[in-house]
Amino acid sequence: MMRHVFLIVGFLMLGQVSHAQLFSKERIANIENFDKRFLSWGYFLGFNSYDFKIEYNNQITDELTDISVESQLGFNVGLIGDMRINKYVNLRLEPGLYFTQRNLRFPNFVEENDALREVKSTYIHVPLLVKFSTKRLNNFKPFVVAGVSRSINLSSNEKNPEDNNEGQFRMTRGTNYFEVGFGIDFYLYYFKFTPSIRGVFAMSNELVPDDDPDSPWTSNISNMATRGVFINFTFQ
């Protein structure tokens, strides 16, 4: 539910800002030579909503046996390096810190301490993206992005000798993703402002199983991979 609200708010935000630009009477071109730079730099602030896609060894699952994932709103901050390939294509590196939390609720436990695992994560996230832009229209320019990324989870507990029997949920430290998204560049008087929405999808299993092969927490999980939605606000 949180992820759906997150997406709706993002779409409305982009729609309202682009509508204002399209129908504004102002037609003066701001920072009109900005996109001619071979290299440009900036920073971003934003929000995230992480989730898990969980697959099970026993495919006969239902609402009573599925693990529920409760997403919470997180925060992003980072830097941007942009290299111009041509008028419509740019290569971007966007290293950042992403803070997030997901709550996992496991079925068939009576005690809250056993049923709930708070998965708090701090990611060093480094995406390499290709940005495909349209022709600039007045003071805005829509674009789409796609690429791959690598993250290091500083809170993974991968090397922790304790597991769920001691209340510790463990994940792999490093993960690879593919990413896709879109946004709009707005050329303001002094700088370029860019709101964007991006989806990220892990390409590997991130679960570190418990030492007990019959663990009630991890034995029935065959694959657990992160999915996420980012809304970033970029300043260049």
Enclosing domain of residue 21: 2-235
Total number of domains in the chain: 1
Written in H, E and C, the secondary structure of the chain is CHHHHHHHHHHHHHHHHHHHHHCCCCCCCCCCCHHHCCEEEEEEEEEEEEEEEEEECCCCCCCCCCCEEEECEEEEEEEEEEEECCCCEEEEECCEEEEEEEEEECCCCCCHHHHEEEEEEEEEEEEEEEEEECCCECCEEEEEEEEEEEEEECCCCCCCCCCHHHCCCCECCEEEEEEEEEEEEEECCCCEEEEEEEEEEECCCCECCCCCCCCCCCCCEEEEEEEEEEEEEEEC
State the average pLDDT for the chain: 88
Residue 73's CATH number: 2.40.160.20
Residue 135 pLDDT > 90? yes
Q: What is the pLDDT of residue 44?
A: 98
Q: What is the pLDDT of residue 62?
A: 57
Can you give the pTM of this predicted structure? 0.84
User: What pLDDT digit, counting tens, does each position of 96-127 carry?
Assistant: 999 999 999 998 888 889 999 999 999 999 99
User: What pLDDT digit, counting tens, does each position of 180-217 carry?
Assistant: 999 999 999 999 999 999 999 999 999 999 999 999 99
